[in-house]
Amino acid sequence: MSSDIAIIDGHNDTLTRIFVDQGGGIGAFLHGNGKGDLDLPRARRGNLAAGFFALFIRTQHPHPNSEPKREADGGWTSQPPSIDYEWATQETARLLDCLDELLQNATDDLRLCRTINDLHCSVTDDRLGIILHIEGCEMISPDLRELQGLYARGLRSLGPVWSRPNAFGTGIRFGWPSSNDVGPGLSPAGKNLIRKCNEMGILVDLSHLNYRGFVDVAQISTAPLVATHCGCHALCASARNLTDGQLRLIAESGGVVGCNFFTGDLRGDGRFDADMPLTRLAEHIEHLVEVMGDQHVALGSDFDGADMCEEMADAACLPALITLLRSRGWDEAALIRVCHGNWLRVIEQTWESNF
């Protein structure tokens, strides 16, 4: 059987790597320079048809507490500080301009997916689809005045928070072992943000939201619930992972979870070590299926934003996961649903429906 099933991936931080972290910019992405996890050549080798490309705003003046820290015993716990609105707005504008330039330099190779038809096209042709996502809404004011302009630039997905607090809610502090029930729910502005996203057809990502914020979204949103890149708390007690109860709520809404590839959220011991076997990722995917059903499970790598295992070193390795799942008894219909069918269904329901 062929293993070249087209894949839609729920999350990457590649734009941050190439345009913020001295990752080589446009040329490095289009032609590859051997750095990071994802570029156009490796996307093609991995049958990656489209992905959620995040705009993530780093702290303007990095300091020792800006990023999560691992403890000596393998546990890890910290909460990065909040960032300034003016800096977030300035950096977002710069990154959007960089993305526009990237798209202009690769009109035959890349596609900004604004509609479900754009996404379907990327599943069937050779143009890599970019779903523009914002991870943490520090560049959006509580009155949401920036949202319409961001939508016009191509924004179709957002996570209200990253792992730090902002005007809309509380991000999950990094922690292992830890519950995600830490901190208050959405602010009034956060609740309005969810309603406005429903109205505009913008997907809301629950991935970095704490438990009470998660419950608020579940009660407010009329769209399917989505977590683009999370693992299973039952298998690894990371604060970033979802409990079986949360998974069931997502399934009941008709939503989807993209399984994260981050070793720290998969291994079960809090370590980021790359020697984790690929079978551990398969176990998380299969636990999602057991709890939710395969119509609610997808992939959400976190390429260029997290540590991968040796067998999933970069996007070119994606077919190895499909081959592994097939060897574990998966049929082709289920593989297609998890690789891209479930994303297509939920994105169409979210983008094209008037909630």
Phi, psi of 143 (to 5 degrees): -85, 0
pLDDT at 70: 58
pLDDT at 69: 60
Name which CATH class applies to 7-352: alpha beta
Give the CA dihedral 307, 313, 315, 316, nearest 10 degrees.
180
pTM of the model: 0.95
The β-bridge relationship of strands 128-135 and 110-112 is parallel
Structure tokens at 104: 């202009």
Instruction: Give the C-alpha separation, 336 to 344, whole Å.
Output: 11
Tens-level pLDDT at each residue, the chain (355 residues) = 346 899 999 999 999 999 998 889 999 999 999 899 999 999 999 999 999 999 999 988 766 555 566 554 455 556 677 889 999 999 999 999 999 999 999 999 999 999 999 999 999 999 999 999 999 999 999 999 999 999 999 999 999 999 999 999 999 888 889 999 999 999 999 999 999 999 999 999 999 999 999 999 999 999 999 999 999 999 999 999 999 999 999 999 999 999 999 999 999 998 889 999 999 999 999 999 999 999 999 999 999 999 999 999 999 999 999 999 999 999 999 999 999 999 999 999 999 976 5
Instruction: Give the C-alpha separation, 196 to 275, whole Å.
Output: 43
pLDDT at 80: 76
pLDDT at 354: 60
Maximum alpha-carbon separation in the chain: 53
Residue boundaries of the structural domains of the chain: 7-352
pLDDT at 270: 85
The answer to whether 324 and 317 have CB atoms below 8 angstroms apart is no
CB neighbour burial string for 308-346, b if at least 16 within 10 angstroms, e if fewer = bbebbebbbbbbebbebbbeeebeeebbebbbbbbbbbb
Structure tokens at 246: 């949360």
